[in-house]
Structure 1
Amino acid sequence: MEFIRSLPQYGEMATVYLGRKPAILLNTVELAKEALVQNASSFSGRPALPLLMWLTDGYGHSWRQQRWFALHTLRNFGLGKKSVEERVTEESSYLVPEMLKVEGKPFDPHHAIQNAVSNIICSIVFGDRFDYDDRPILV
């Protein structure tokens, strides 16, 4: 977490190498909106990961159908409208403290980010979110 706390000293944009691959970090909401919304086509490319390509068989026809269905359905629930942006911002107010709980120790953010994404979808579909500490109810 010390890395995240030190990001402001690098300015609005920084490059970090993940292995041999460069990753661009956008340190302000305004810059992220400009890159990911206003210039989405320029920032939409992702490097091909051989394992992912093998698992998904090169993003076949079924993946395209699922992606189309998901985007079409989420648009009907308000994806792309300001209400979704507000839900993401609200969820980030829960995600950041959750990630800061580790107090600078290394950790895998996968579970926390997965919970945040699930909560955004739940708030769109059900109008409510769940605590990160909630456990599933087994029937």
Structure 2
Amino acid sequence: MALPVAVHNPHANAWRTQHRLLESEQQAQQRTAHAATGRFWSIVNPRQRNGLGEPVGYKLVPNSGLLPMQPQGSQAWERARFCYGHLWVTAYDPTQFYAAGDYPNQSRGGEGLPAFVQQDRPLADTDVVVWHTFGEHHIVRPED
């Protein structure tokens, strides 16, 4: 984020990263990429430190910022709501494998990530699953 013009930033060229802890599944659902500001997400273990004393972890840099054009209430919205956000984070559960649920083609919708996050489980100091979703638009051709 850009810092305001001030005594310590007279040329308006200073900026800093903004950190926000996503503490629960509700806070960490349907987060979107923002290429214009270079948004990224850090996944860290605050209890484990590297050689420089910083928490170990990794940085997720989203590849694509495209979102589906189908509106809320459409079939795509109901069956593939996971793709309306670039980042979801859930507490680890060995029964939750698929972002759209187990049987998306037979589903009436609302399964998968939208259902997983309803529990609003805490994410700090626990095993998590980071779901990065991305897509591309294409012009449909007759052969499609």
TM-score bucket of the superposed structures, by smaller chain: under 0.3
Structure with the bigger RCO (C-alpha within 8 Å, sep 6+) is 2
Q: Which has the larger radius of gyration?
A: 2
What's the TM-score once normalised by structure 1's chain length?
0.25
Q: Which structure has more helix as a fraction of its residues?
A: 1
